[in-house]
Structure 1
Amino acid sequence: MDQVEKKIGYWPVVAIGIGGMVGGGIFAVLGLSVQMTHGAAPLAFLAAGLVAMATAYAYTRLSVTFPGQGGTVVFLDQAFGAGLFTGTANVLLWISYIVMLSLYAYAFGSYGAAMFPEGFRSLGKHILISVAVLGVTGLNFLNVETIGRAETWIVAAKIGILLFFTGVGAWTIDVSRIAAGSWPSATSILAGAMIIFLAYEGFELIANTAADVRDPNRTLPRAYYSAVGFVILLYVLVAAVTVGNLPVDRIVAAKDYALAEAAKPFLGSFGYLLITVAALLSTLSAINATLYGAARLSYTIAKDGELPEILERKLWNRPVEGLLITSGATLLVANCFDLSSISTMGSTGFLLIFAAVNAANVHLAEKTGSRRWISIAGVLLCLGALYSLLHYTWQHSPSHIWVLAAMLFLAFAVEGAYRLWRRGNLLLEHFR
């Protein structure tokens, strides 16, 4: 009876998926999306959401078949074995989480610094970025449970504020600003959709709950599709209200804190402050949840033999080395790269990972009872979206391509070097 009572139902699982997606992403990338897509920003969020929905099918079938707390790592291992490809993909997933953390920290610094005097904003942003990352790292050592209990209330608050923002702002939309005449080229729209794809990646957190879900065969599919569908609708509405109430040049000028600026025309200074508070709470809670999850991910990958054993060590039930490495890397990325670079890295990483998960479901279709063609379509959508993002990036910001190449090489090099080191140690042990 006690075991049954511990199982969670449909609504808590949906809340986990929505909370994972509506973290700090929408606050960080909205202005960047509008800069690239202008009046087509709602369409861009819809396009990115459809790619996420296609991938949700693979996650649904894999979660039902392989319930546990490993999520993506387990799915790739089940499909392709614990080889160099899987190890590289899992390390890339860890790096992508570090990039997400950097995005949240960057957004926290940007929204907070917007309240400072003009001359202090640049320095203030970097100070706030560092304080947020170091502060949450310290809290993970002290009393993460207290913050964990507050997560539910923070998620409810930010969803409520965004719904209030869209509900009030919808009445004052200037339709001409989102009409087809205000759209750029199809290439720009598609690239703009994919650079903000990382705003949807959080639905994969549902996979980590699969072992604790009541009636998973029925609950998990409904939860995945409901969470992704709700967030698509929310993002499209937020984008429409933003572009419909504020000229594109003003959104671009306030790119790093665009959502707060967009609340001014119809909510005044109160709206600006409300969205700023929501952004600060949202990004801080997202840093906490993602930092904890990324440190746990490094622990899981190390347990699978794909990262050094030192990352398996725990102190006070926390994966200490993984936590510190993740925090240090986040400080470096968030303080050294701009919003566009961070978003491009994050979206590239997750598009590759989601393509691999779709491919895993194609490979395991007989075990998962899947329609193979849906996940084949998911692979093609992810790779096509990735191509459009890389093509646009090469044309407009070619230096970012080298950053992406370095990120992918790092994932391969870390995994390859560790495997060579481990093989060398095994040979030494053999000849002793």
Structure 2
Amino acid sequence: MTDRLARRLGTPQAVVVGLSAMVGAGVYTAFAPAAAAAGGALPVALLLAAFVAYCNATASARLAARYPESGGTYVYGRERLGPFWGYLAGWGFVVGKTASCAAMALTVVAYAAPGLGQPWRGVLAVAVVAAITTLDYRGVHRSTRAAAVLVTISLLALATAVVAALAAGNPQASGLDPSVGTGPRGVLEAAGLLFFAFAGYARVATLGEEVRDPSRTIPRAVAWALGLVLVVYAVVAFALLATLGPDGIAAAEDPVAEAVAATGLTGLVPVVRIGAVLAALGALLALLLGVSRTVLAMARDRHLPHGLTAVHPRFGVPHRAEVAVGVVVAALAATVDLREAIGFSSLAVLVYYAVANASAFTLGRRFVPVAGLAGCLLLAANLPTASVLSGLAVLAVGALAYAVRRRRSR
């Protein structure tokens, strides 16, 4: 039995992995809390988040081309900065994206069964996680094909909603006034929350061991995925602000559906809900792929149990890592709140990308990694206080575990 993964993915499949993660994470979950923080300056926050994401994407693409292994920044930090920084990045990614997985499972439940209370909400979320974990278990090729179908349908539903809101609604230019908001602090907080929506391109880097010609495929896939999603988000933000205004977005549990309902075309609201469910499923599919590959890389270095390195002889996937991640995600989905999961995930993932930019700094051409590092730290510091404190506490626990392990090994 081998613990190496087969290179089966080309550029289109890699783009789909990143695109499905970003679309599901952002359009249906992040705009409401971001609008509450930024108000009419939501587009400014979106551009700031996109800029930081671009810097991170550039750093990740350069590093992934040089180190085409599963694990992403865990590998880059280890190779360029030292074992501890690689470990801290991997720990931040695993805990942050595990929270993201739980958020996507809860999004599926919220849109598929609105009004469903506990304990059935938790039961349904666990069932969703189990189904997606089973699909991932049966092979990455099958997973990327399913992600392509899911993201295509969800984008079509989203386009229908935007066209309906702008054509049949009553768009108001007043909703686009950037002076209506909470000021620079609110813009930075909103950018940090919206960054959660852009982080899907990391899935491409963490699949580095499974793509063909990684030095060419990874940078192209990252650029395409990030560019396409930025266009989608900009269009959606414009439509929501013009239709609902910043206060309407902030107050809505489902802003896109609310924008459609405001036009009187209530028959399209179920279409939007179906699109949200499919987008969240596609994101969960891609997120579980990325987290399990980082767990695989950390287990190879014995930062996690070495038994998680096993690769299934038939399906060619790290099946033990996938099952372990699925179990943890299911437990979180049964207990946590959606918006808390988004804030916690944003903090942990911004730390992850801070390590990526610091790693890229050692490769030369340093302006972009410096800007990316500064952007990550700035956005992380301005997230909601509860998210910052809980995220730093979990990162500290991981650092303490690393120190204890190193001391025992000596």
TM-score w.r.t. the length of structure 2 is 0.87
Greater displacement, 327-336 / 315-324: 315-324
Residue identity matched to 1:364:
L
Deviation at 1:359? 0.5
Residue identity matched to 1:333:
L
Name the counterpart of 1:224. Answer: 222
Q: Secondary structure at the match of 1:184?
A: coil
Deviation at 1:198? 1.3
Deviation at 1:169? 2.8
Matched, 1:45 2:85: no
CA distance in 2, matches of 1:46, 1:192: 11
Deviations 1:88-133 (A, max 9, x none): 221221111201101101211211232xxx5x44554333222212
Alignment of 1:43-192 (within 5 A): 43-81=44-82, 83-114=83-114, 118=115, 120-121=116-117, 123-141=119-137, 146-171=142-167, 172=169, 173-192=171-190
Deviations 1:324-381 (A, max 9, x none): 432232233333332332111111111111111010011132xxxxx11221121111
Unaligned runs of 5+ in 2: 1-6
Residue identity matched to 1:412:
A
Residue identity matched to 1:240:
F
Name the counterpart of 1:31. Answer: 32
Unaligned runs of 5+ in 1: 366-370, 425-432
Name the counterpart of 1:405. Answer: 392
Q: Secondary structure at the match of 1:337?
A: coil
Alignment of 1:378-417 (within 5 A): 378-389=372-383, 393-394=384-385, 399-417=386-404
Are the aligned partners of 2:122 and 2:335 in contact in 1 as well (CA < 8 Å)? no
Deviation at 1:318? 4.7
Deviations 1:278-332 (A, max 9, x none): 1111212322332233223212211123222132245565545433432232233
Name the counterpart of 2:4. Answer: none
Residue identity matched to 1:359:
A
Deviation at 1:18? 2.1
Name the counterpart of 1:430. Answer: none
Alignment of 1:337-356 (within 5 A): 337-356=336-355
Are the aligned partners of 2:8 and 2:210 in contact in 1 as well (CA < 8 Å)? no
Alignment of 1:356-375 (within 5 A): 356-365=355-364, 371-375=365-369
Label 1:140 to 1:222 Cα distance change in 2 as closer, same or farther (>3 A): closer
Structure whose alpha-carbon radius of gyration is higher: 1
Are the aligned partners of 1:101 and 1:330 in contact in 2 as well (CA < 8 Å)? yes
RMSD after superposition: 2.8
CA distance in 2, matches of 1:226, 1:404: 30
CA distance in 1, matches of 2:372, 2:141: 37
Matched, 1:245 2:243: yes
Are the aligned partners of 2:37 and 2:181 in contact in 1 as well (CA < 8 Å)? no
CA distance in 2, matches of 1:228, 1:16: 12
Label 1:335 to 1:31 Cα distance change in 2 as closer, same or farther (>3 A): farther
Identity of aligned residues (%): 24
Deviation at 1:407? 1.7
Alignment of 1:224-303 (within 5 A): 224-255=222-253, 257-266=254-263, 268-303=265-300
Alignment of 1:303-342 (within 5 A): 303-314=300-311, 317-342=316-341
CA distance in 1, matches of 2:405, 2:102: 25
Deviation at 1:213? 4.4
CA distance in 2, matches of 1:321, 1:8: 25
Q: Secondary structure at the match of 2:30?
A: helix
CA distance in 1, matches of 2:407, 2:267: 58
Label 1:304 to 1:267 Cα distance change in 2 as closer, same or farther (>3 A): farther
Name the counterpart of 1:198. Answer: 196
Are the aligned partners of 2:25 and 2:196 in contact in 1 as well (CA < 8 Å)? no
Name the counterpart of 2:370. Answer: 376
Are the aligned partners of 1:28 and 1:107 in contact in 2 as well (CA < 8 Å)? yes
TM-score w.r.t. the length of structure 1 is 0.83
Deviation at 1:274? 0.9
Label 1:267 to 1:346 Cα distance change in 2 as closer, same or farther (>3 A): farther
CA distance in 2, matches of 1:167, 1:252: 21
Residue identity matched to 1:48:
A
Label 1:304 to 1:271 Cα distance change in 2 as closer, same or farther (>3 A): same
